Structure 1
Amino acid sequence: DYVFDGEWSTPYNEEQFPSPVNHYGYTKWLAEEYIRCYKETWRIIRTSWLFGGEGSNFVKTIAEKSRRNEKVAVVDDQVGSPTHVSDLSLSILNIMSAPSGVY
């Protein structure tokens, strides 16, 4: 999230050079660069739109509105990849034994 500006018409991949959308994205990118330069082995995991577990989130909100047959109004200028926290947790366990890289 935020390390890319959203100007591409196709999904981003791990090899693409970041183009931060704002200062927050820029600092995330700087942190990635720091990790790459100062750690012998490293893994950077880029994720966004987490859902699951406790609390509210986009997926739970949409599902609840759908169950109640309520009107759903959302922005249409954002694209994301919702990621369930359990799936992310399992992926992180696998990534820990993988080579250094961006995942």
Structure 2
Amino acid sequence: MQPIPTRDNSLVLKGTLTVFKRRCGKASCRCANGDPHESPALTYTDSGRTKTVTLRPDEVDEVAAALARYDTARNDLDEAATAGLSKLRARRARRSRS
């Protein structure tokens, strides 16, 4: 998934920040005793399929901020669309009264 930069070059990402817990399979590893390895990841949908990008620990804050920017932009767009629909309905109502 290609991230889309905003005007200030901040990333905007759509998806979910998650943590994978896995066992590596080594009998002597701590994960064999129930303490699995944890890997932060971004999951997103592309053409109906779930894709995963495993993140480095230093990328988690940046990805979380990019996801928050997407949510903010989506909410702003939803509000603008709702306002636009209200304006259209009001305009049509005024015309039908005339």
Higher normalized helix content (fraction of residues):
2
The structure with more radius of gyration: 2
Normalising by structure 1, we get a TM-score of 0.27
Normalising by structure 2, we get a TM-score of 0.28
Which structure has more relative contact order (CA 8 Å, sep 6+)? It is 1
Higher normalized strand content (fraction of residues):
2
